[in-house]
Amino acid sequence: MNPFTDIDHTLDRSNSDVVLIVDDVPDNLSVLHDALDESGFTVLIATHGEAALQRALQALPDVVLLDAMMPGMDGFEVARRLKAMPQTAHIPIIFMTGLTETEHLVAALDSGAVDYVTKPIKPKEVLARMAVHLAGARERRQTRNALDAFGYATITVRASDGALLWQTPLARDLLERYCGTQAPQTPPLVIDWLQQCLGKLDQPGEPPRLTLKQGAKRLTFRLHQQIDDTDAMGDWLIVMREVSDTAVIAAIGLSFKLTPKEAEVLYWVVKGKTNRDIGDILGSSPMTVKKHLERIFIKLGVETRVAAAGMAMGRIRLLQPQFEA
């Protein structure tokens, strides 16, 4: 495979990190490519801005080494576009620049870079800078993968402007279903909640959670961790999980050995509904609901609906901590 023209769409990331080098000078590309390849990296190449954006979207590299001054689209604009796309916003960018004036270095960082190296390029310095940022990227990727494996959806939001930088496929589906939004837009409710959480970071205890309800289901948001080294207005990983009333009802039935109908009745008792309300919800008469309740009282060993609701709530809290009556 010619690294200057091709992209392997089945990149194996299990044993090596993927690096995209963007530079319009062949000699610079050659020196860096050889040094990184010998160090065990999978190296991709782009010689202009449009190619860099295309390769970044296709391969989703672990880090981008980006030349600042290129004809056409310069490195600053490439960085801004990479950071504006949710698929690539999380990728660390290291600028390679011969411009050492303060305003140019500030421009590099303002456009989204995490670091820079000055030309002429010294491969050992580049490797050292990359090692720092790749370690953080690996840790964040492992965290997201672990959360996904247990059914938790995750997003990354930039607190300074509320931009949605990264999301799992499950998170994308949930945000569309509950909020009707798509990346890079973060739902306004989530932005407001995040700002409230950040205002309470100095207080003891876990920040408050956000819960959105949709019929018999609820979506909870929990502030998980900050994923950069800036101040509180940096990037934050938020964990989302959908909780279904159906699962809660099933848990009630299993816990107290109730029939499915009895479990439904007890669930709505926990919700504070009257027998008439429950009958309307389940399509039965209040008298039928009363008979179900009598059998529930016997199975739970209680005499009142308040006592039954208390027992059920205690068990539900153990099984579904996010449940809200």
We report the CATH number of the domain holding residue 279 as 1.10.10.10
* DSSP classification of residue 65: E
Structural domain boundaries, residue 126 = 18-142
Q: Is the pTM of this model over 0.85?
A: no
Quick check: is 26 in a domain?
Answer: yes
Same structural domain for residues 132 and 164? Answer: no
Distance between CA atoms of residues 219 and 230, nearest Å? 29
Question: Residue 165, SS3?
Answer: strand
CB-CB neighbours of 302 under 10 Å:
16
We report the CATH number of the domain holding residue 70 as 3.40.50.2300
Query: Which candidate, 73, 121, 72, places its Cα nearest to that of 95?
Result: 121
Same structural domain for residues 268 and 297? Answer: yes
Quick check: is 188 in a domain?
Answer: yes
Q: Bridge partners of 236?
A: 157, 226
Residue pLDDT tens, the chain, 325 long? 343 334 444 455 556 789 999 998 888 888 899 999 999 999 999 999 999 999 999 888 999 999 988 888 999 999 999 988 877 888 899 998 877 666 667 777 788 888 888 888 889 999 998 988 888 777 777 766 666 666 678 898 988 889 888 888 788 889 999 999 987 789 999 999 999 999 888 888 888 999 998 866 789 999 988 876 556 678 888 999 887 777 778 888 888 899 999 999 999 999 899 999 999 988 889 999 999 999 999 999 999 999 999 998 888 777 665 566 6
Domain count, the chain: 3
Measured CA to CA in angstroms, residue 191 lies from 185, 187, 233, 238 at distances of 10, 6, 12, 11
Q: List alpha helices for 88-212, DSSP H.
A: 102-110, 123-149, 169-179, 188-198
To the nearest 10°, report the CA torsion of 45, 78, 153, 236.
Answer: 120
Same structural domain for residues 102 and 56? Answer: yes
Angle at 156 between CA 36 and CA 57, to 5 degrees: 45
Same structural domain for residues 61 and 81? Answer: yes
